[in-house]
Amino acid sequence: MSDNFIGKPIPKNVETRDGVVAWRSPSNIALIKYWGKHGRQLPRNPSLSFSLSNAHTDTQVSYTIREESQETASVSFSFEGKKNAAFEARIQKFLDSIVTNFPYLKNVDLDIKSQNSFPHSSGIASSASSMSALALCLTDIEYELSGKATDASFFLKASYISRLGSGSASRSVYKDFCVWGETSLDEKYVDEYAVPLDKVHPVFEALHDDILIVSSVEKSVSSTAGHKLMEDNPYADIRYAEARRKLVALAGIIEQGQVSAFGKIVEEEALSLHALMMCSDPSYVLIEPASLEIINEIRKFRKETGTPIFFTLDAGPNVHVIYPDSVQKKAREFVESKLLIHCEDGRHIFDRMGDGPQKISYKNKI
Ligand code: PMV
């Protein structure tokens, strides 16, 4: 599939009016990680994630049609009720880069308001939920202006546009599990956008993700810099091949409901991501002693009780504790009694697999 989400100008024969759209879009947690990119935000290896429920962004875009065309849209942006110049500049740059995908941007002024369900400084990456919420709004406006009803390609385009904003955001436009990037599993999985993973055993249908905030301090090395460091990482080629192999294995495990095999790959993958950081040049470490304490506690508890409870990590020190719904009571008691003490001021978000993005009424609260 080539980069073919080129849009059409606002049709002359359709009555166009000013309007407002709003979407709530979730964050997601990758089990096979996207780490390393090339070209226009294309992944070096496929990734597999599931969408969350409680960690999400609400974005509302009001558009005003202009008769005369300009190079790009003009935008005003506020975050959590306050005008935010830094985010506004970033969004303006992003909009400038997608005018060929959405030619209507030449004829609109946009007023964008956004808010997260989780605190901005919680150490939870907001780019997946925020970029996907914005991409869903922009795709929705295109559909509204051209009088098109939402169809299957709506989410493909929204995923494609999300990817251009932040790679991992491409995976936030669906519920449950999805895959972004070419894999030998099936030709439907491509680098340009994410696609749902359809064969899921019931044991994995309502996974939990207890997000333990070890530190809310901004990361010393951003994901953008981390992706770049992969270019000269001596283990890069092996890593990409391993990620491809592990994704195919994990998809089979998810289909067949093999819980321990699932945990083995998920944990290996989390530690591989951090190992890559440690052997970059310059080397860096994002996990903290408390992250390791939590990891060790989880492994000990699993060994002693046989409870299927696992960890994964994003590009930071916070630990995501993953377990099936069938062991929720036991797992939650363990998290509350043994793990929250390692968190910064006990901070955490009890999250779980979610229903994907939702169109929301702008009359609500934003
Ligand atoms: O989407 P980015 O550029 O912020 O990269 C995210 C990379 C990881 O979160 C570490 C892994 C992933 O696949 O989400």
- 3-class secondary structure, 350: strand
Q: Spell 173-196 as b/e; 16+ CB within 10 A means b.
A: bbbbbbbbbbbebeeebbbbbbbb
Cα-to-centroid distance, 119 and ligand 1 (Å)? 19
Ligand 1 binding pocket includes 30 (Cβ within 6 Å): yes
pLDDT digits (tens, 9 = 90+) for 193-231: 999 999 999 999 999 999 999 998 888 889 999 999 999
Does pLDDT of 1 surpass 50? no
Does pLDDT of 363 surpass 80? no
Ligand 1 binding pocket includes 314 (Cβ within 6 Å): yes
- Please report the atom of ligand 1 found closest to the CA of residue 37: 3
Ligand 1 binding pocket includes 44 (Cβ within 6 Å): no
Distance CA 187, CA 183 (A): 7
Locate tokens 């709530």: which residue? 24
Ligand 1 binding pocket includes 129 (Cβ within 6 Å): no
Among residues 245, 218, 182, which one has the least CA distance to residue 38? 182
Amino acid letter, residue 293: E
Cα-to-centroid distance, 223 and ligand 1 (Å)? 7
- Please report the atom of ligand 1 found closest to the CA of residue 128: 1
pLDDT digits (tens, 9 = 90+) for 306-352: 999 999 999 999 999 999 999 999 999 999 999 999 999 999 999 99
Cα-to-centroid distance, 224 and ligand 1 (Å)? 9
pLDDT digits (tens, 9 = 90+) for 236-287: 999 999 999 999 999 999 999 999 999 999 999 999 999 999 999 999 999 9
**Which H or E element spans position 51?**
strand 47-65
Ligand 1 binding pocket includes 315 (Cβ within 6 Å): yes
> Cα separations (Å) of 118 from 77, 175, 233?
19, 19, 33
pTM, 2 dp: 0.95
Cα-to-centroid distance, 47 and ligand 1 (Å)? 9
Ligand 1 binding pocket includes 127 (Cβ within 6 Å): yes
